[in-house]
Amino acid sequence: MNKLADLRKEYTKNTLREENMHPDPIRQFRVWMDDAISSGIPEPNAMTLATATTDGKPSARVVLLKEVNENGFVFFTNYDSRKGRELTENPCAALVFDWHETERQVRVEGRVEKISAAESDAYFHSRPSDSRLVAWASPQSREIASREELDKLQQQTEDQFNGKEIPRPPHWGGFLVRPARIEFWQGRPNRLHDRIVYQLDQQGWEIIRLAP
């Protein structure tokens, strides 16, 4: 087996200059997301979501971005899950998009809030019926005795809604991450990577460069 310390990759595809960046980081993110989609990256909307408890204990997992708009980044989850509880108690989060094929990363930090019930309803009803059933069946992040228990919960849910409309569970919906800081990272040769940060202040977005 190769030693992890010996694994290296040279980044050579692009460079990143301030004069080529859009003044609005959301617009710049959309450009990079379009590039990621065009590059054929599997699930380019997959992002690492980091949350923390009120006493600072962090946790992270991969979730899917479902919308980006002028306000920020939207994803959906069970509000009673670990991430849902942590975001309710400590409404701050960090996101990381890692696109190896384009040698790019985007890091987002900001405050988090629930989106409206109407917005959550609209997205929930756009999901396949099996996914809507799972939102009811799975006690996400809770301890269960076995896989068989989970399968039983799924069957009970299917029986409950057999032939009926599947409403959105009250414990399931969307969160919006309102960014206060967005970093665009472009891999460069010899580890001299480009890092451009948008930092929000009272005057708007300030664009600064960081050392790699």
Instruction: Supply the residues annotated as catalytic.
Output: 191
Cα within 13 Å of Cα(188), Cβ side: 13
The CA distance from 85 to 112, in Å, is 12
Q: How far is CA 173 from CA 38, 75, 105, in A?
A: 29, 8, 27
Q: What angle do CA 165, 171, 173 make, to 5 degrees?
A: 80
Instruction: Residue 71: name the closest of 106, 21, 19, 108 by CA.
Output: 108
What the block records as the tokens of 77 is 């989850």
Q: Which residues pair with 73 in a beta bridge?
A: 68, 177
- Identify whether the C-beta of residue 207 lies closer than 8 Å to the C-beta of residue 18: yes
φ/ψ (deg, to 5) at 171? -95, 10
Block residue for tokens 């069946």 = 137
Block residue for tokens 């989970």 = 150
Judge residue 5's burial from the number of C-beta atoms within 10 Å of its C-beta, 0-12 exposed, 13-18 middle, 19 or more buried.
Answer: exposed
